[in-house]
Amino acid sequence: MRDMVMSAVRSKIARDRLRCDQVIISGRPMLTKYRERILRGEFENISLRRSILIADAVGVQIDLQVAA
Give me the pLDDT at residue 26, please: 86
Question: How far is residue 61's CA from residue 47's CA, in Å, rounded to a whole number?
Answer: 18
Average pLDDT over residues 33-49: 90
The H or E element spanning position 6 is helix 2-16
| Model confidence, pTM | 0.82
Give me the pLDDT at residue 1, please: 85
Question: How far is residue 2's CA from residue 43's CA, in Å, rounded to a whole number?
Answer: 9
Q: Does 17 score more than 60 pLDDT? A: yes
Give me the pLDDT at residue 11, please: 95
Nearest partner of 8 among 46, 60, 57, judged by Cα: 60
Q: Does 14 score more than 90 pLDDT? A: yes
Q: What's the residue count for the chain?
A: 68
In sequence order, the 6+-apart residues with CB closer than 8 A to the CB of 58 are: 9, 12, 13, 16, 18, 23
